[in-house]
Each structure stands twice: as structure tokens, then as C-alpha cells.
Structure 1
Amino acid sequence: MTVRKGPTTRTRVREVTPERVRERRDDLATEEPLEIRVQAGGERRTLAITMRTPGADFELAAGFLHGEGVAGPGGIAAIGYCTDEDVPPEARYNTVTVRLEAATLPDLPSLDRHFMTSSACGVCGTASIDALRARRPAVPPGADGLKIAPAVLYELPDRLRAAQSVFGKTGGLHASGLFTPDGAQVAVREDVGRHNALDKLVGWALLDGLLPLRDHVLLVSGRTSYEIVQKAVVAGIPVVCGVSAPSSLAVELAREFGLTLAGFLRGERVNLYTCPERIM
């Protein structure tokens, strides 16, 4: 019988405090591999194997492919768990096949090698700055007319935290949340990997026909890396906030593409690293 694992896994733990030692049950964030296969025409290839938290697997695959330039809006015909003969029953729910609308597989360098990515890191270095320029032209600061009050940003971390149901059980998950300029929650996704959480969010928007995500604010629960900004740029998100620090490459990329990048969003404080014109 094939067992489909959920986002949490139960274990036993010995809790030690100055007052007592006791055995109790604990919930862990599940971490399992997900193999992403792409199919077009009569050809099928493995594009990536990533460590993720089970749940929203189809969104994760769609978002990953969108970020890598493999599938844009309208480019996915179907997504399903793989039933190929080479996939053992116990791995069925850890293998996803994405059937593309294209007649043949895209001729991309990323298809020439299999990625093995951890939950802590995205697929680094697969999209160049030139490729990003071709896919998503930079938006001059202020050209979109988007304005967000600082008070709105201050409320977002608490709203994201309140929506993290699995984090509440395990304390071990990252989250990406999408909000409107007035702070209303649109969607939240969780994963052991911060890049996966964002891929799930973008994949949800892609499959629902909501891309590009203009007039939205993205909040990530950890630091903001180059890959996070890259995925936001491709998805058309104009404002990215993090509760921790951004990296130097993230700031450079955000500045070039006219994205407002905010960090250390905690309490009533935020650092605006690029395009502060939108926050006023």
C-alpha cells in the first residue's frame, strides 16, 4: 500500500528542563524529495529533484518551471503524480510529471543536467541577468504608481505568522505570503525551503491564471536571497519584504529591475534597500 506523507511527521522526544525530564510526542516538519519531470511530445526528462515539505506539490512544480523559464502562463497542459514503470509505488507521491503544451521540450541548458537541490537553497545560477532582462523588462521606479503605507508593512509579519498552520505545530517551516497593497492576505504557502514556499505561491498563481502579480506585496519569513528576488521579478511582483536581511546580490538585482526590496521588517521598523518611492 502506497502511503502519502503529510506536512508533519510525529516522533518521540525527551524534553529536558531544570525542573524535569519527560518523554513526549513532537511534530516535525516533513522533508521528502520531489522529482520534477517534464514531458512534451513523446519526450520526457527529469528536470530537478528538490527536498520539500509534501503538500501543494503541483504548485511547487509549476512555480519552479515558471521561475526557470520552462513554462509560462498557458504553457502547462497537465500535472500529475508519476505512474511510469521506473517509479516504485513508494515513490509515486514524490514524483511529479508536468506535461507541457509545447510540441517538444524547450532547448534550455537546465534540461541538460539533473538538479539536486536541498530545502535550504534554490537552484542557484541557472538564470542569468541577461535571461531575466529578456523575460521581464525593468520597471522604472514610480512608473506603476503603486503606493503602500509603512503601517501596512508593519502588520504583515503578524498576518503571515497567523496563517502558518504547520509552523504552529512544528516551528520548522518557512513561509511566503502574498498581500494586497492595503494588507489583505491573498495566499500563503509553507515549506522547509524558503525557495520552495515561493515556488508554491507562484505556481498557485500560474495555475489560476493570475500572473503577473502586479499590485501585490510578497513577504518571506527568512532572509531575502538572489533567488527569491529572481523569482519575484519573473512573477512580476513589485514589492518584496523579508523579516531578515537581504543579500548583496538580491539588492543589486532588485535595484536593476525596479523592485522595492525591504528587509528587517519587524515591529514598527523596516529597512528599504531599493526603490523606496513605493513606501510612503
Structure 2
Amino acid sequence: MSRVTVRRPILRLRDTALSRRVDVLAAEEPLEIRLDGRPLTVTMRTPGDDFDLAAGFLVSEGAIGAPGEISSIRYCAGATVEGSNTYNVLDVRLGPGAVTLTTSLERNFYTTSSCGVCGKASLDAVRTVARWPIEDDPVQLAAEVIVALPDRLRAAQRVFDRTGGLHAAGLFTPDGEPLCVREDVGRHNAVDKLLGWALRDGRLPLRSTVLMVSGRASFELVQKAVMAGVPALAAVSAPSSLAVELAAESGLTLIGFLRGDSMNVYTADHRLAFPPPPQRTDHT
């Protein structure tokens, strides 16, 4: 199987001292996802949790929403030039209840670790119809729990500790307890791995949960949260304008710039509970 990290020799400069050493890098390899034997998409990802990645991608695209809608997922092993096996091709077989292939799903994507929306023909192509409305999700989130999520997410990033080069996505309860954390060179892949785990574990829709992501909150990450029934998405960096627009339309609580004890709440702030401000004492 492919490795999550790769060791490479480097020349290192620190202050004025030069040294040669071995550095640990986050692995990045292409994964081709086939649907019922037909090529669907290629994504650059960190190997690991590939079945969850494929399942989560299909959840995001609105093709599936329950474990029984996948009949099987298997690696397609083939021979490389060197004669060894490759495990960078997955074939997903759909089961009863899955959405019939449409033009939007039959199109070929090419996603990269920097842009998960590459290859989309138009903005309308990613405005898929969600199975589960989230605007009526009554979950209440304490601000002190939300501000602690970045540290909790960072504490679970095992591969980041060795490479410093991976994004992370974590699914948390309203009390801030982690349900699942996934890492990948692409933040959209990390989220797909989470959604695939949730699907295969029978947890969809993900009501009363918070999705915490490293980096920014893009339109695609908001879409993925909405498609899985997640009522709140928090990011350490900024959201895009389209991300805020989609969150507002869907009733998703979108939080950005979550750093230290501060945050910006862009949409659906009714789910946030803030502590009362300290009482001022007037001295006369």
C-alpha cells in the first residue's frame, strides 16, 4: 500500500550553518475514482482512508446518502512499469437507492490539493440539492467550546506533527468532543474522508455536530457540510463570498477567523451562545 509520509534528503540552512539531513514529507499521490467501472474523477490526495474518501466524495455530489447505496468499494490493482502493483484506482459499485448517473456525475473532474472545484463546468454544477435540511437544526453551541476546537483539532493531527504539511478536518459534538479527525494534503479530501466515515458508519445526516477545518472555508467545503446535514462549520481562516452566500441560503452556521478567543460569525448566529459581558463597576 502507499505510504502516508515520504523521506527525502535535503540541504538545510539554519542561521549560517549548512547541514544535510533527511526530511519527512506528506505523501501526495493521484487517486482515480471509478463509478460502476467508469472513470469519474481523479484527485491528488494523501494515501489512507481511500474508501472513505470515495464514499464521502459521492455524498458531496448527492449520489448517495446511506451505507446500503454502496454495493462495494475495491482497489483496482494493475502493473506499473517496474512490475509492482498500484493501488491508486478505486471502483465504487452503487447499490439500490443510489442516484442514477446524471450528466453532472458523469462529467470528469480533475481536482488538486489546492482547488477542489477545478473542472466544474459552472457554479450551478456544484449547487446540488441537499437531502437533509439544516436550517431547523436546533443545536446550541457555546462560544467557549467553539474557540477550543482549533487546539483540539491540532492535537489530533498525528501526521502533521511529522511533516507540517497537511490540512485537517474534524467532526465534533456540541460539547467539543471529537467524533472523527482526518488529514490530507487537500482540505476538501480531508472533509470527504470524514463524510465517508460517517456514511459507512451509518451516521448521516450529521445533525447537531460541528465541522472544524484548518485553513479557509471555501464554497466547496460549505457544500460538503450542507450535503451531509452538518449545521455548523468553523474554519481558522476566512470564508469566500460564495461560501457565505451558500451558508446563508442553507441555514448553516458559518464561523471564520477562529483564532485564540476570537471568531467571526457570518451566518446563522442564533446557534451561538455567548457568555454575558463582565459587569462594569462604577467608582464614585
Partners of 1:110 and 1:126 within 8 A in 2: no
Asked whether 1:216 is paired with 2:213, we answer: no
Name the TM-score, length of structure 1 as normaliser. Answer: 0.90
Select which of 240, 244, 250 maps to 1:251: 244
How many residue pairs get aligned? The number is 271
Asked whether 1:175 is paired with 2:168, we answer: yes
1:265 corresponds in structure 2 to 258
Partners of 1:260 and 1:274 within 8 A in 2: yes
The 2-side partners of 1:139 and 1:87 are apart by 49
Report the alpha carbon displacement of residue 119 of structure 1 after superposing the two structures with TM.
1.3
Partners of 2:78 and 2:87 within 8 A in 1: no
1:68 corresponds in structure 2 to 61
Report the alpha carbon displacement of residue 112 of structure 1 after superposing the two structures with TM.
3.5
Q: Structure 1 pair 105/46, CA: closer, same or farther in 2 (3 Å)?
A: farther
1:37 corresponds in structure 2 to 34
Report the alpha carbon displacement of residue 131 of structure 1 after superposing the two structures with TM.
7.8
The 1-side partners of 2:121 and 2:182 are apart by 23
The 1-side partners of 2:207 and 2:124 are apart by 21
The one-letter code matched in structure 2 to 1:13 is I
Q: Structure 1 pair 116/247, CA: closer, same or farther in 2 (3 Å)?
A: same
Q: Structure 1 pair 179/99, CA: closer, same or farther in 2 (3 Å)?
A: same
Partners of 1:243 and 1:266 within 8 A in 2: yes
1:1-280 matches, within 5 Å, as 4-39=1-36, 44-73=37-66, 74-83=68-77, 90=84, 92-102=86-96, 106-124=100-118, 125=120, 132=127, 134-136=129-131, 138-140=133-135, 143-280=136-273
For structure 2, which runs of at least 5 residues remain unmatched after alignment? 274-284
105-114 or 128-137: bigger deviation: 128-137
The 1-side partners of 2:244 and 2:186 are apart by 21
The 1-side partners of 2:169 and 2:4 are apart by 16
Q: Secondary structure at the match of 1:159?
A: helix
The 1-side partners of 2:121 and 2:84 are apart by 30
Partners of 1:45 and 1:111 within 8 A in 2: no
What are the Cα deviations for residues 137-174 of structure 1, in whole angstroms up to 9, with x where unaligned? 6444xx32211110001111001001000011000000
The 1-side partners of 2:3 and 2:101 are apart by 35
Report the alpha carbon displacement of residue 271 of structure 1 after superposing the two structures with TM.
0.4
The one-letter code matched in structure 1 to 2:165 is G
For structure 1, which runs of at least 5 residues remain unmatched after alignment? none
Partners of 2:53 and 2:196 within 8 A in 1: yes
The 1-side partners of 2:93 and 2:125 are apart by 27
Name the TM-score, length of structure 2 as normaliser. Answer: 0.88
231-240 or 113-122: bigger deviation: 113-122
